Amino acid sequence: MPLPDISVVIPARNEGAKLAPTIQSIARTRTTEARVEFVIVDDASIDDTVACLVAAVPELLKEARIDIQVHRLEEQQGIYKTRNHAASFASGEILFGTDAHVRFSEGWDELVLYHLAPNRVLSGTTAVPGSPFRGYGCDLLIPFMGTSWNNGPVDGVAHVPIAPCHATVMPRELFNRLGGYDSGMILYGAGEAEFSIRAWLQGADVMVVGDLLVEHEFKPKDVLANFIDEVRSFWIHNCIRFGFLYLSELGCMQMLRYYSLQYPELFSEALHRVNESDVWQRRAFLEEHQRRPFQWLVDYFGMKNQAGGEII
């Protein structure tokens, strides 16, 4: 039986010349005969991202058993909608969602093919160049509705609440059945956590693979701080939306209190934007389709709130 194809889906915005080395590295670290396609969607970059990639394609295609698709959005959609666009163009049976500035460990494809199952999301282990850091998926922080790294270690595979966007693998059929990333999330923040929680509640498993390393080049601290400042109002919106989708009424009140105290200058605008959205229709839809209640997930992972208390 032929091995299934793998589609590596990458959203990109203002990534310049970083994409070509990423593609080359991923292609060269395979150890199986699986065909791999790269689906790149440029999120309305204002630099030379597409030009750099197109110029590199003839050389990249000399790598055996790869194909490359390049698509461009004319208006910025944000990381989650761009990931959905990339997935919609993919033809492989398996989706490996990642970023434009990563390196995969040798034999990544063999690990994916061995551990993946029809109702399973895999998380790669996050590494940082030149650092001993390892992130074995992420934990959920409540009422912040953000994430923290699970520092493991993990020998083999283990259940984890959240798979990070740059290291998320699943059957394409499962991605489609889950509905992709929440299109109500704006630009950046909370979308990867919401997707993994939704996968859990709809009956899938999320598992981190200890040996599947994804070396990720994170933004320098000053660049990251400026970026977060630019997207903070949208990020707060996304976290509140995330909480409204899954938390109890008391949990939602706790979350709102947290954000009103932490970000009083941005809170009202974010809350208004959430209330003007489809959040309550979306919650009703999710509750109709989920097989597990949110409390099941809390109990399964023994989740506590950020103060170490019970989640209400």
Q: Please name which of 294, 8, 292, 303 lies closest in space to residue 150, comparing C-alpha atoms.
A: 303
- pLDDT of amino acid 261: 97
pLDDT value at 1 more than 60: no
Would you say 169 and 98 are in contact if contact means Cβ atoms under 8 Å apart? Answer: no
The C-alpha atoms of residue 134 and residue 149 are separated, in whole angstroms, by 9
User: Could you give the percent of the chain with pLDDT greater than 90?
Assistant: 87
pLDDT digits (tens, 9 = 90+) for 26-69: 999 999 999 999 999 999 999 988 899 989 999 999 888 899 99
- pLDDT of amino acid 224: 84
- pLDDT of amino acid 3: 63
The C-alpha atoms of residue 165 and residue 10 are separated, in whole angstroms, by 10
pLDDT value at 108 more than 80: yes
Burial of 123 (0-12, 13-18, 19+ CB in 10 A): buried
pLDDT value at 232 more than 90: yes
Would you say 216 and 190 are in contact if contact means Cβ atoms under 8 Å apart? Answer: no
- pLDDT of amino acid 312: 81
- pLDDT of amino acid 128: 95
**Confidence band, pLDDT 50/70/90 cuts, at residue 226:** very high
Distance of CA 297 to the CA centre of its chain: 19
Query: Higher confidence at residue 112 or residue 223?
Result: 112
- pLDDT of amino acid 2: 59
- pLDDT of amino acid 17: 87
Which of the residue ranges 1-15, 80-94, 130-144 would you say has the lowest mean pLDDT?
A: 1-15
The mean per-residue pLDDT over the stretch 171-193 comes to: 97
**Confidence band, pLDDT 50/70/90 cuts, at residue 161:** very high
**Confidence band, pLDDT 50/70/90 cuts, at residue 286:** very high
The mean per-residue pLDDT over the stretch 154-158 comes to: 95
The mean per-residue pLDDT over the stretch 246-253 comes to: 96
pLDDT value at 125 more than 90: yes
Token pair for 108? 């990544």
DSSP string of 44-109, one letter each residue:
S-SSSHHHHHHHHHHHHTTSTTEEEEEEEESS--BHHHHHHHHHHH--SSEEEE--SSEEEPTTHH
Q: Which CATH number fits domain 6-217: 3.90.550.10, 1.20.1440.230, 3.40.50.970, 3.40.190.10?
A: 3.90.550.10
pLDDT value at 197 more than 70: yes
Q: Are strands 205-216 and 157-159 parallel, antiparallel or unpaired?
A: antiparallel
The C-alpha atoms of residue 197 and residue 162 are separated, in whole angstroms, by 7
pTM to 2 decimal places: 0.95
The mean per-residue pLDDT over the stretch 152-163 comes to: 95
